[in-house]
Amino acid sequence: MTVRLADYTPPSHIVEHVDLTFRLHPTQTRVISRIRFAAGGPVLRLDGEKLRLISARVDGVAIAEQPDETGLTLAVPEAAFTFEAEVEISPSENTALEGLYMSNGMYCTQCEAEGFRKITFYPDRPDVMAPFRVRIESDLPVLLSNGDPVDGGWDDPWPKPSYLFALVAGDLVAHRGSFTTMSGREVALNIWVRPGDEDRCDYAMGALIRSMKWDEQVYGREYDLSVFNIVAVDDFNMGAMENKGLNIFNSKYVLARPETATDEDFARIEAIIAHEYFHNWTGNRITCRDWFQLCLKEGLTVFRDQQFSGDMRSHAVKRIEDVLMLRARQFREDSGPLAHPVRPEAYEEINNFYTATVYEKGAEVIGMLKLLVGDEGYARALDLYFDRHDGQACTIEDWLRVFEDATGRDLAQFKRWYTEAGTPRVHVEEAYENGEYALTLSQKGGSPKVIPIALGLLGANGDEVLPTTVLELTEPVQTFRFPAAARPVASVLRGFSAPVELEMQRDHAFLLAHDTDPFNRWEAGRALAKEVMAGVIAGAPVRADWLDGLAALVTGDMDPAFRALALRLPGEDDMAQTLHASGVVPDPDRIRAARKAMAQALAERLRGDLSALIGSPEPWSPDPAQAGRRALRLAALSLLSRLDGGAEAARAYAAADNMTEEAGALACLLEVGVGADAALAFEAKWRHDRIVMDKWFTLQILHSDDAVGMTGRLVQHPLFDMKNPNRFRAVISALAANHAGFHRADGAGYRLLADWLIRLDPVNPQTAARMSSAFDSWSRYDADRQAMMKDQLRRILATPGLSRDLAEMAGRMVG
């Protein structure tokens, strides 16, 4: 059934209070609910799926109605009334990991978006907000739910939608901390883990405390309960969930110590802890009216976590990483059959819309808004948002109105960013005449949008003659003029000020050497590398100006993290996307060969500098500066491996005392085809560690020249387990991420992925649907590959009993 934004109607009833009692049992959990409804219409519809109804009463009188497949319709009094029900569910058989389920003997929940209806009958929609009181009956020692602990259970005084409900029960231990809020309240902080994992919680606890402090200092937002609980769970469909006062995390985004987690893992843990914590205000206190408004909480919360990570680390490096991700995932989505607006208008299964467009483009839109209204305007608008809408379920219209009221700006045109799909293209023409420099910008793709273009001008010697200025492009074509004594060099779209494709003739080598904006300096290097790669694919040699420019930057004195990013060659999928956009059909094998040839040439060009860049390992500390030095060291080690056959990397592997070095050296060895022994050693050392072993599976496939063969072997490994989403993704997503391997000319990569999606679908449709998006790029490739990819999508669609999740995805992709 298609759900449409245009069909929204307010709820027929308001819930005043919810009382829940859980009698936990692996196959026969009883859920007893008592829901007080305010006076409303004569008919009440409650959602409910896969529930065995034991009994139900309205104001104490047994009901006559029977539930259907998706819920229960009741005749109810027009005055306030109480609905009571007892239902039975089976958490241990719940492999979809939505609703109440079991993971390693522990009970946990995932309700967003529509999982609560698998727990009990309820108006399971985000605009029904109510206070909850919960009792849990079980022999397990730790019993948690939302809110504050009270006699015999949990009480959450803050009205919340059902998607934020959570329950956890298990044999868990707490890593404890505390935080004193800005108004002097003491908050108990707990990270709950399985016994044995206590020594991996320190970093997450620190990240939580930094997040709480930052939200007070930057947004003036204080935490509002006496306790904040985080639980680490091994079986989880995504990264983490912001349930009120009880965040549930995929264990790989909480548990970390230097021996088991890489610097990237630490950075991601800090970002996700912050993201879920920030939801307490942007998502929980102010939530979404309906699921079409998902970007209201997700775009804003991603924007906030990006700001936070930039403040904790380096803004330039964070921006580059975010844009790499945006282009790899969101631009890809926007250019294919899965394209949709930041605020979609229709869906079959809402879980399919937790996308890069809603999250990452949703965050970009807020970044543009902030640029347009300025930092002060943004701060005023956010204060107004929290004041005006606390406790409400809101829409994008509410959000934009707050900005209009706080700043006096009309945002009717800006709103198109929310309602239109696709990546706008901005074409740039330059002219210089009579002491005047003219920049003509034209925009294509959809109706004209408000596009903030951050511009700087450089002189011929690289000096900045115009510091960064934000131009507002609102018309289809617009010319901006600047007095200039000599023809300047433009640095356009600084900091990636808008999520657009820029079309402009640029001297990348000059900008790589001189741009004063670090993002654009990196961007110039990347654009140049892509130009070179396109040349190599077409038979040209690796260009010396690229090698020289990159060598100068990498051996210079910029931030090591920045230099490490500059050394990272454009990925194969990224290159395929760029070729396709420029009208060339990408050949995956040629892309791989060209990329290898460039790495080889770069290694040779830097031969004399590599050992200085590699340096020697430092005793591990989590600070970002050191992580940057380590990233540069590993990037150089990877180049050296192409010259010494992995000799230095093998030494680094043997000496490694932290996971960044250990996994980094293993990747170097695998990349040059000499990693088999190290992989065996790694397996012997880590086979009892789920989180670390996921890396072992992934690295071997990512760095293989025969990804299909390697995947085929690894799915036979005794530790491969398709019921665990992390393990399944570690193997099957790695296959899809090995570009040349997945796109093998005989179609074996496509078949293997489809086989596993078809197998996973009945077990865990949400994860299967999410991973099917690997097929969304079919239109980029040659006719044979297109046909083979579409054949697999049709084969998936023809599978009997296919889930609504996967059916919607495959259907959208194959058209």
Cα–Cα distance for residue pair 586/524, rounded to 1 Å: 22
Question: Binder to ligand B3K among 3, 188, 238, 719 (CB under 6 A)?
Answer: 238
Cα–Cα distance for residue pair 146/284, rounded to 1 Å: 12
428 interacts with, out of ligand B3K, Zn ion, none, CB within 5 to 8 A per kind: none
Least Cβ distance, residue 112 to ligand B3K (angstroms): 4
What is the DSSP code string of 402-471?
Answer: HHHHHH----TTTTHHHH--S--EEEEEEEEETTEEEEEEEEESSS---EEEEEEEE-TTS-EEEEEEEE
Q: Which stretch binds Zn ion (CB under 5 A): 140-148, 300-308, 309-317, 501-509?
A: 300-308
Least Cβ distance, residue 248 to ligand B3K (angstroms): 10
Least Cβ distance, residue 96 to ligand B3K (angstroms): 11
Least Cβ distance, residue 276 to ligand B3K (angstroms): 5
Using CA atoms, how far residue 93 sits from 27, 50, 62, 549, in Å, is 7, 11, 29, 58
Cα pseudo-dihedral 399, 404, 410, 412, rounded to 10: 10
Q: Is 593 helix (H, G, I), strand (E, B) or coil?
A: helix
Q: Is 98 helix (H, G, I), strand (E, B) or coil?
A: coil
Q: How many residues bind ligand B3K (CB under 6 A)?
A: 12
Cα–Cα distance for residue pair 185/243, rounded to 1 Å: 21
Question: Long-range contacts made by residues 710-715, C-beta under 8 angstroms, separation at least 24?
Answer: 711/735, 711/752, 712/752, 715/756
Question: Is 86 a residue of the active site?
Answer: no
Question: Binder to ligand B3K among 103, 120, 330, 351 (CB under 6 A)?
Answer: 351
Q: For residues 30 and 268, which CB has a smaller minimum distance to Zn ion in the complex?
A: 268
What is the DSSP code string of 289-335?
Answer: SSGGGHHHHHHHHHHHHHHHHHHHS-HHHHHHHHHHHIIIIIIHHHT
> What burial letters (b/e) apply to 223-261, b meaning 16+ CB within 10 Å?
bbbebbbbbbbbbbbbebbbbbbbbbbbbbbbbbbbbbb
Cα–Cα distance for residue pair 525/507, rounded to 1 Å: 11
| Greatest CA separation for the chain | 88
Q: Which stretch binds ligand B3K (CB under 6 A): 66-74, 183-191, 273-281, 485-493?
A: 273-281
Q: Are 417 and 381 in contact (CB under 8 A)?
A: no
Q: Which stretch binds Zn ion (CB under 5 A): 55-63, 121-129, 294-302, 392-400?
A: 294-302
Q: For residues 240 and 565, which CB has a smaller minimum distance to ligand B3K in the complex?
A: 240
534 interacts with, out of Zn ion, ligand B3K, none, CB within 5 to 8 A per kind: none
Q: Which stretch binds ligand B3K (CB under 6 A): 275-283, 361-369, 406-414, 650-658?
A: 275-283
> What burial letters (b/e) apply to 493-507, b meaning 16+ CB within 10 Å?
bbbbbbbbbbeeebe
Cα–Cα distance for residue pair 658/626, rounded to 1 Å: 13
Does 164 participate in binding ligand B3K (rule CB under 6 A)?
no
Least Cβ distance, residue 178 to ligand B3K (angstroms): 24
Q: For residues 194 and 279, which CB has a smaller minimum distance to ligand B3K in the complex?
A: 279
Q: Tokens 């009094």 — which residue?
A: 77
384 interacts with, out of Zn ion, ligand B3K, none, CB within 5 to 8 A per kind: none
Q: How many residues bind Zn ion (CB under 5 A)?
A: 2
Least Cβ distance, residue 794 to ligand B3K (angstroms): 26
Q: For residues 275 and 494, which CB has a smaller minimum distance to ligand B3K in the complex?
A: 275
Q: Is 126 helix (H, G, I), strand (E, B) or coil?
A: coil
Q: Are 420 and 390 in contact (CB under 8 A)?
A: no
**Nearest by Cα to 737 from 753, 751, 715, 759:** 753
Question: Binder to ligand B3K among 124, 298, 661, 671 (CB under 6 A)?
Answer: 298
The 8-class DSSP code of residue 42 comes to: S
**What is the C-alpha R_g of the chain?**
27
Using CA atoms, how far residue 537 sits from 326, 584, 603, 704, in Å, is 25, 11, 19, 21
201 interacts with, out of Zn ion, ligand B3K, none, CB within 5 to 8 A per kind: none
Q: Are 318 and 310 in contact (CB under 8 A)?
A: yes
Question: Which candidate in 49, 242, 270, 276 is catalytic?
Answer: 276
Q: Which stretch binds ligand B3K (CB under 6 A): 237-245, 571-579, 601-609, 724-732?
A: 237-245
Tell me the per-residue interface mask from 354 to 373 with ligand B3K, x by CB under 6 A, - otherwise.
Answer: x-------------------
Q: For residues 214 and 686, which CB has a smaller minimum distance to ligand B3K in the complex?
A: 214
Q: List 102's β-bridge partners, or say none.
A: 107
Q: For residues 366 and 550, which CB has a smaller minimum distance to ligand B3K in the complex?
A: 366
Q: Tokens 């799926």 — which residue?
A: 49
Alpha-carbon dihedral sign for residues 774, 780, 783, 785: negative
Q: For 497, what's the count of Cα atoms within 13 Å in the CB-facing half-sphere?
A: 24
Q: For residues 120 and 280, which CB has a smaller minimum distance to Zn ion in the complex?
A: 280
Q: Which stretch binds Zn ion (CB under 5 A): 216-224, 293-301, 329-337, 615-623?
A: 293-301
Q: Are 563 and 606 in contact (CB under 8 A)?
A: no
Cα–Cα distance for residue pair 681/687, rounded to 1 Å: 10
Q: For residues 49 and 574, which CB has a smaller minimum distance to ligand B3K in the complex?
A: 49
Q: For residues 233 and 532, which CB has a smaller minimum distance to Zn ion in the complex?
A: 233
Question: Binder to ligand B3K among 156, 215, 276, 305 (CB under 6 A)?
Answer: 276
125 interacts with, out of Zn ion, ligand B3K, none, CB within 5 to 8 A per kind: none
Least Cβ distance, residue 725 to ligand B3K (angstroms): 12
Does 291 participate in binding ligand B3K (rule CB under 6 A)?
no
Question: Binder to ligand B3K among 242, 334, 360, 671 (CB under 6 A)?
Answer: 242
Least Cβ distance, residue 240 to ligand B3K (angstroms): 6
Residues 93-112 that bind ligand B3K (CB under 6 A): 112
113 interacts with, out of ligand B3K, Zn ion, none, CB within 5 to 8 A per kind: ligand B3K
**CA–centroid distance for 375 within its chain:** 25
241 interacts with, out of ligand B3K, Zn ion, none, CB within 5 to 8 A per kind: ligand B3K
Question: Binder to ligand B3K among 46, 164, 241, 667 (CB under 6 A)?
Answer: 241
List the Cα angle 48/51/57 in 5-degree steps: 75
Q: For residues 386 and 510, which CB has a smaller minimum distance to Zn ion in the complex?
A: 386
Does 275 participate in binding ligand B3K (rule CB under 6 A)?
yes
Tell me the per-residue interface mask from 320 to 339 with Zn ion, x by CB under 5 A, - otherwise.
Answer: --------------------
Q: Tokens 């219209």 — which residue?
A: 397
Q: For residues 158 and 291, which CB has a smaller minimum distance to ligand B3K in the complex?
A: 291
SS (H, E, C) 331-395: HHHHCCCCCCCCCCCEECCHHHHCCHHHHHHHHHHHHHHHHHHHHHHHHHHHHHHHHHHCCCEEC
Least Cβ distance, residue 354 to ligand B3K (angstroms): 5
Does 278 participate in binding ligand B3K (rule CB under 6 A)?
no
- Counting every residue written for the chain, the total comes to 815
User: Could you give the strand order of the β-sheet that contains 106-110, starting from the edge strand earlier in sequence?
Assistant: 99-103, 106-110, 167-170, 142-145
Least Cβ distance, residue 345 to ligand B3K (angstroms): 19
Does 37 participate in binding ligand B3K (rule CB under 6 A)?
no
Residues 110-129 that bind ligand B3K (CB under 6 A): 112-113
Q: Are 279 and 301 in contact (CB under 8 A)?
A: yes
Q: For residues 299 and 646, which CB has a smaller minimum distance to Zn ion in the complex?
A: 299
Least Cβ distance, residue 113 to ligand B3K (angstroms): 5
Does 212 participate in binding ligand B3K (rule CB under 6 A)?
no
Binding site for Zn ion (CB under 5 A): 298, 301
Binding site for ligand B3K (CB under 6 A): 112-113, 238, 240-242, 275-276, 279, 298, 351, 354
Catalytic residue list: 276
